[in-house]
Amino acid sequence: MAYDEDTAIVLWPEYFDSRLSRSRGRRLPRPLCVEDPSLDMISKGAVLLDLEFEICEDKSYPKDWHTKRGCVRVEKGKMKKTEILPAIGKVLVQNQ
């Protein structure tokens, strides 16, 4: 399936940041997270999962609106968001 901006899944670095609590935005258990993940690390995970993606550097996570860390938007269709998050988390941990 090709990348469609209207249906893309947004992946924020906060989802994978081991320094954050779940209430501050972390979505995965700490063993699947890394400290201060970058957009490049997340996009590398999308490449390894064979997902098309787009990096948006000027965006900010809604709970941390004053910090513009950006986000990665990946195609929807091959996998659900609940499957993509742990898969990218495993890639991040292996390549940290």
Categorize the per-residue pLDDT at 1 as very low, low, confident or very high, splitting at 50, 70 and 90: low
pLDDT at 15: 96
Categorize the per-residue pLDDT at 12 as very low, low, confident or very high, splitting at 50, 70 and 90: very high
Write the pLDDT tens digit of every residue in 33-87: 999 999 999 999 999 999 999 999 999 998 888 888 999 999 987 789 999 999 9
CA dihedral (57, 87, 23, 4) positive or negative:
positive
pLDDT at 65: 85
d(CA 17, CA 37): 6
Reading the block at residue 37, the tokens are: 């993940």
DSSP 58: T
Between residues 18 and 6, which one has the greater pLDDT?
18
Is the pLDDT confidence value at 4 over 80? Answer: no
pLDDT average, residue stretch 83-95: 94
